[in-house]
Amino acid sequence: MSRSIRAFIDLAALEHNLTVVRRYAAHTRIMAVIKADAYGHGLLHTAKALRKADGFAMLELDAAIRLRDAGYQQSILLLEGFFSVSELAQCKKYRLSAVIHNHEQLAMLSASKHGRLDVFLKINTGMNRLGFAPEQFLSVLGALKANPAIGHITLMTHFSSASDTDGDQEVIKQLQCFNSMTTSHSYPRSLANSAAVIRYPETHADWVRPGIMLYGASPLTNKTAAELNLHPAMTVTSKIIALQYLQSGNKVGYSGCFQADRPMLIGIVAGGYADGYPRHAPTGTPVLVNNQRTRILGRVSMDMLTVDLSGIKDAELNSPVILWGKGMPIDEVANAANTISYELLCALTPRVTKTAQDHTLTHCARGGL
């Protein structure tokens, strides 16, 4: 199928964004977060571009095994740990590290007889998602220390508000909670996500865990990716596949959500919510046609969306369209659609052909890379 919509993955941009992380966190190790098929960018190609990272973090056991089988020797961390004894055995077999965040995992570790496992002990300091309560920390740490199946221990937490402009107090509160429990223990620490890497150097500790900034989107609500010197790693392109001439009063698409107030030319673009473009993106969501900025009109359909071609020079059938990426920041599209860049990147569906590009050659693959 040769539909026009494509996603181009810029491996050089991924490499560049990793260097940006290094500049912010020059004295700590980097655990590059590549969960959810590397935020929709393709696991193995992204890992190749980020091969200078000190480690990788993800949720999926099968993806972690793929990395090991591909020859990656760095630390590989499972962010939700293991969920069964058989998965624990796989973690040991493939030298994976696991986040320990509940007592069921502790029980499985206690019953484990063979091999050793490096663990990240997660403390819930206010995110209230995963992790042991502060009052449980000492007993859980003691159980891990006493277990011969445990290798290295790293202490970790996760910030809930590091990306918010008014999040300082919450970050400080969580950091104080973490430090009050851990400062008397000489274990490595991991706290900072992308936003904290940039805004809170005091949280860098021994490991940082950048995610969204590696892919060229801003983790901050008050700074653009360009202001942070981050380059977009994914550019989603398509083409105009049909033209329509509207008269004043004509409506567009399902439910006629847009009505023309003057005669105008519109374009139909190959790309809709079945490709991962958000259905709830309203009229006015920005898009590029012929590298000129315009807007979408009306309701996004399953396979198509409509764009305003008023004032777009040389607009015609097959004119190129950029939905997000180079020249059209994904954060702007996400803000207009009342969502976040993470969701747009991860929602891209397998029927969109992804092409990974590096400095010298192009690699192509259908669906995921």
- CB distance 206 to 29 below 8 Å: yes
How big is the chain by its Cα radius of gyration, in Å?
23
3-state per-residue secondary structure call for 216-259: CCCCCCCCCCCCCCCCCCEEEEEEEEEEEEECCCCEECHHHCEE
Token look-up 């973690």 returns 91
DSSP string, 48-67: HHTTTSSEEEES-HHHHHHH
Tokens standing for residue 243: 């033209």
- CB distance 330 to 345 below 8 Å: yes
Any known ligand binding at 129?
Answer: yes
> For residue 168, what are the contacts with CB-CB under 8 A and spacing of at least 6?
none
- Interatomic CA distance for residues 268 and 240, integer angstroms: 6
Q: In terms of Cα–Cα distance, which of 139, 142, 119, 123 is closest to 131?
A: 123
Active-site positions? Answer: 35, 254
Any known ligand binding at 156?
Answer: no
Annotated binding site: 129, 302
Annotated binding site for substrate: 129, 302
